[in-house]
Amino acid sequence: MTRKRVGILISGRGSNMSTLIEAARSPDYPAEIVGVLSNRAAAPGLATAAAEGIATASLAQSKFPTRDMFEDVMTQTLESWDVDIVCLAGFMRILGDDFVHHWAGRMINIHPSLLPLYKGLHTHERALADGARVHGCTVHFVTPGLDEGAAILQAEVPVLPGDTADSLAARVLIEEHRIYPEALRLLASGKIAAP
Ligand code: GRF
């Protein structure tokens, strides 16, 4: 089995990144994590990845004259790691069309809602404000429209009486950590492909 080489893009804590690293420790997992790139040098996930012996890089968009130039250097960095698949894991930047097209079919994201519900930010607050009974998370292919690509896996959680955005987020995060490694397994092993 040739393992697919995966680069992860983060902006912060990196708990989803950690679950992908953990899954890839298993020799029969079809992917290995070869690099982690952050747009924030202070992202705690960078230190976690470095401690695992994984290559890391941080690139501040503000240092580049345009978003396209920033994203070109992101692609160069990912290609210097020989990446086959890109996983967005709490990467808090909207990506431009050129970058998205370059990685089309090879880039996936975890989003904390049952897409197509609640695209964008503050998903837990919005689900609570709507009185939703069910909430959850989605792993999907990344396409130019924000949070619009085809879903690979979803998981539902109940919204419980007394839930706050934090308690609901914590319940959803448990499911994120379950489905993200599973979705990457499906893509890396060729069991699914972008439509
Ligand atoms: C997760 O809730 C993910 O769904 C969202 O941002 C959060 C990132 O958390 N896109 P972490 O950095 O993976 O801990």
In this prediction, residues 146-168 reach a mean pLDDT of: 97
Ligand 1 site, residue 112, Cβ cutoff 6 A: yes
In this prediction, residues 77-90 reach a mean pLDDT of: 98
- Asked if 111 is an active-site residue, the reply is yes
Q: What is the pLDDT confidence band of residue 179, given thresholds at 50, 70 and 90?
A: very high
pTM above 0.85, yes or no: yes
Active-site hit among 101, 102, 111, 177:
111
Residue 1: its pLDDT value, please?
Answer: 80
Per CATH, the number for 4-188 is 3.40.50.170
Ramachandran region, residue 105 (left: φ > 0; alpha: ψ -120 to 50; beta: rest): left
Helical spans, DSSP H, in the chain: 15-23, 44-51, 67-80, 97-102, 123-129, 165-188
Short-list 22, 27, 19, 21, CA closest to 3: 27
In this prediction, residues 94-104 reach a mean pLDDT of: 97
Count Cβ neighbours within 10 Å for each residue of 17-48 and write b for 16 or more, e otherwise: bbbbbebbeeeebbbbbbbbbbbbeebebbeb
Residue 82: its pLDDT value, please?
Answer: 98
